[in-house]
Amino acid sequence: LIGVGTGPGNFTGIRIAVAAARGLSLSLNIPAIGIGTPEALAFGLPRPCRIVIPGKRDTAIWQDFTDTPSEPQQSSLDALPPGPPEATPQISIAEGIARLARARAGTPQPRPAPIYLRPADAAPARDRGPVILP
């Protein structure tokens, strides 16, 4: 079983981790299970709770965990909406990913895919590439 963090987080790091996990999963014929960063940090915490991950330039990634968990969100640290109390994670992201992946083993899971909260900073080139000669 391969557990992989799907973000949100560092754009390139998440893409590499998910691609590596999916490649290993295919080549070794074992399942890969994707786990979101806030969900991994919320492992074992009493519900309801909110996980807040500080980001760049006074922003935060946050997610509420209640009977029906919300989706990860991004906003400024001083503009978080009202919600459940903020919880302090008790385990590392890696341990949360491993424990949740293990708990989901044997149940149908979607293929791991990155979680993006905003579009990529880079875009494909608009002009045509060079002609490849024979």
Q: What is the CA radius of gyration of the chain?
A: 18
The three-point CA angle 92-42-28 to 5° equals 60
Q: Taking the chain, what is the end-to-end CA distance rounded to the nearest angstrom?
A: 44
Residue 19 backbone zone (phi > 0: left; psi -120 to 50: alpha; other: beta):
alpha
Name the residue type at position 70: S
Amino acid 92: pLDDT: 97
Name the residue type at position 96: G
Tokens 């590596």 — which residue? Answer: 20
pTM as predicted: 0.87
- Calculate what percentage of the chain has a pLDDT beyond 70: 99
Amino acid 57: pLDDT: 84
Q: pLDDT-based confidence at 133, cuts 50/70/90?
A: confident
Predicted confidence (pLDDT) per residue in 12-67, tens digit: 899 999 999 999 999 999 999 999 999 999 999 999 999 999 988 889 999 999 99
